[in-house]
Amino acid sequence: MTQGERNEDCEVTGEVGCHSWGLGLAAWPEERCPPGRSVLSAAGREPLGSAGHTWCPWWTDESDAEASMAVISLVFLAVMYVVHHPLMVSDRMDLDTLARSRQLEKRMSEEMRQLEIEFEERKRAAEQKQKAENFWRGDTSSDQLVLGKKDMGWPFQAGGQEGPLSWMLGNLWNAGLFCLFLIFELLRQNMQHEPAFDSSSDEEEEEVRVVPVTSYNWLTDFPSREALESFYKHSVQNVTRDLPCTCEFVESFVDDLIEACRVLSRREAHPQLEDCLGIGAAFEKWGTLHETQKFDILVPIVPPQGTMFVLEMRDPALGRRCGCVLVESECVCKREKLLGDVLCLVHHHRDHSAVLSKCSSSIKVALCTGSHLDVCKTVQWFRNMVGNAWALVAHKYDFQLSLPPSTTSCKLRLDYRSGRFLSIRLVLGVQREDTLVYLVSQAPDQEQLTSVDWPESFAACEHLFLKLVGRFAPENTCHLKCLQIILSLRDLQSLPQGASRPVLTSYHFKTALMHLLLRLPLTDWQHSMLSQRLQDVLWFLGRGLQQRSLHHFLIGNTFLPLTIPIPKTFRNAEPVNLFQHLVLNPTAHSQAVEEFHHLLTQVKTLPCAPLAGAH
């Protein structure tokens, strides 16, 4: 068939075409339809005018559908690649980004499904429409074109090309696109699993070295995952099996005590108690044998009505992160004018000066040193209130409660008839702004503070971070298991000669783990990668000991998820070195290195570790 003959038989429907998009839109010569021939409109019924003045394209409905499918396949592959691999920009784990990417993946899948259904419906409608038009014109030859060109040979025949060759060329770009995508995916997986973790910026190249952890001599001959799992099952899992239920009971019991305290202090001008929060290893689910009987509970306090707490933070450059709680009278004139349910005692000096003086002196005399809240006095007041509250709720429980003496926390000891006992430590805290950072009554063991200094605590923030990791990570991850194995092995070893306490604490190992949780994708913490991730934690801490540098997880960490509420100044602050005392004290650094090497020895001889602990 000549080119002129093809134009004579051409009709325009607005939705069909005959040239393959797989070969591209060629610059075909512009030809007119023969005179006397009508050219149909997009609807297929109205003539557009004289055929001599109308351009007549000659592509068919089938090639248009295949071209649309090719374009949609390209867009689909591109969108799904972006959705499934959102972490290629940075290897640091942003929990907000992870949640949004998963929501986007579900939404895009639904949209693509709807597009496929809509495309099939439009294709069927176009076929029915074409057959109807051919029927009314009495032309049945085009039915074979619509139904697949059964008797017309290969669908792509033009310009003297062979049918099979033309069809292969038309679909060559689809095959090439698929191969390119497959090759790029394989390369991406290889690049992602080569290093244990790497840096995402040039500025951190000095901080995080892109070197496999197995290249270090002190991490050779590492135990297999089976050996680690066996140790975890016998030395950790068996002794912490009932820990979640115990934590739930402890929180319920403390809530009961606090509710009774609220009843007793309803008419007193003393601080009010907020809902408690379990903190520490037991409540963060990485507790070991030593944490199964010790539980820390944070009890926030707020000032009574008409009084406010003003936090005066110390300069962190002095080496201590703490602050003082200034007690002042609060102006409630706005509430007095709007609601009328209170009276501002600050600005009613004549009629209510006596009440104001009594309210202010009550809390300042009982709980303050000068105008600042005193830690020892506040803890003693709370301890006396808990003792009185126990008398109200003792009938509900079948154990004996005692309150061991303490000046910085309210300690509770629960003794059961079976001989079992639980130790609970209630720590008072004053919230800093609208964050989860608190000024608490319990200071770290190595710090000596005055009675009006309340040290900063980040336990609530860290608790929330680990909780979010557990929520968004795949099931049965090994991040907490790594920490439990390390701490259990550390508890089995003895201190170096002449040492009174270990230099490396559980908080140091926990900090190393949290840093790695931001550096590695959460999918890399699956249970099958327990051995590799345990090596990463030890490598990270060992490298910190070599450099005498371990940065605080919350202060100066610009990669911290925004869902963790901390003061704004923390994100842009200078990082705090938790190993600063090792820089100043070479003896402590030598002891820390010795403790670390003993830990590595325990890990490498892991199958013998439980037997050694039994003796």
- C-alpha gyration radius of the chain: 37
Task: Measure the CA–CA gap between 204 and 123, rounded to whole angstroms.
Answer: 54
Task: Measure the CA–CA gap between 447 and 430, rounded to whole angstroms.
Answer: 19
Q: What is the dihedral of CA 221, 226, 229, 235, to 10 degrees?
A: -70
pTM summary value: 0.63
Task: Measure the CA–CA gap between 134 and 127, rounded to whole angstroms.
Answer: 11
The answer to whether the beta carbons of residues 329 and 360 sit under 8 Å apart is yes
DSSP run (H or E) holding 145: helix 141-146
Helix 375-393, helix 243-264: angle, nearest 10: 100
> What pLDDT score does 338 carry?
55
Task: Measure the CA–CA gap between 13 and 27, rounded to whole angstroms.
Answer: 21
The answer to whether the beta carbons of residues 136 and 115 sit under 8 Å apart is no
Amino acid 209 reads R
Instruction: Tell me the CB-side half-sphere exposure of residue 213, using CA atoms within 13 A.
Output: 19
**Helix, strand or coil, per DSSP, at residue 73:** helix
370, two tokens: 């000068």
Residue of 575, 164, 380, 507 lying closest to 155 (CA atoms): 164
Taking the CA atoms of 573, 577, 581 and 586 in sequence, report the sign of the dihedral they define: negative
Task: Measure the CA–CA gap between 403 and 70, rounded to whole angstroms.
Answer: 75
The answer to whether the beta carbons of residues 312 and 326 sit under 8 Å apart is yes
Per-10-residue mean pLDDT of the chain, 615 residues long, equals 45 40 40 44 43 44 58 65 50 54 75 82 82 62 42 43 54 69 62 38 37 47 89 89 92 96 84 94 88 87 89 82 90 56 53 50 85 94 95 94 94 93 95 94 77 94 95 92 94 82 93 95 93 94 95 92 91 91 93 93 72 37
Residue 47: left (phi > 0), alpha (psi -120 to 50), or beta? beta
Task: Measure the CA–CA gap between 366 and 358, rounded to whole angstroms.
Answer: 12
For residue 591, report the phi and psi dihedrals to the nearest 5 degrees: -65, -40
> What pLDDT score does 372 carry?
94
Task: Measure the CA–CA gap between 520 and 87, rounded to whole angstroms.
Answer: 10
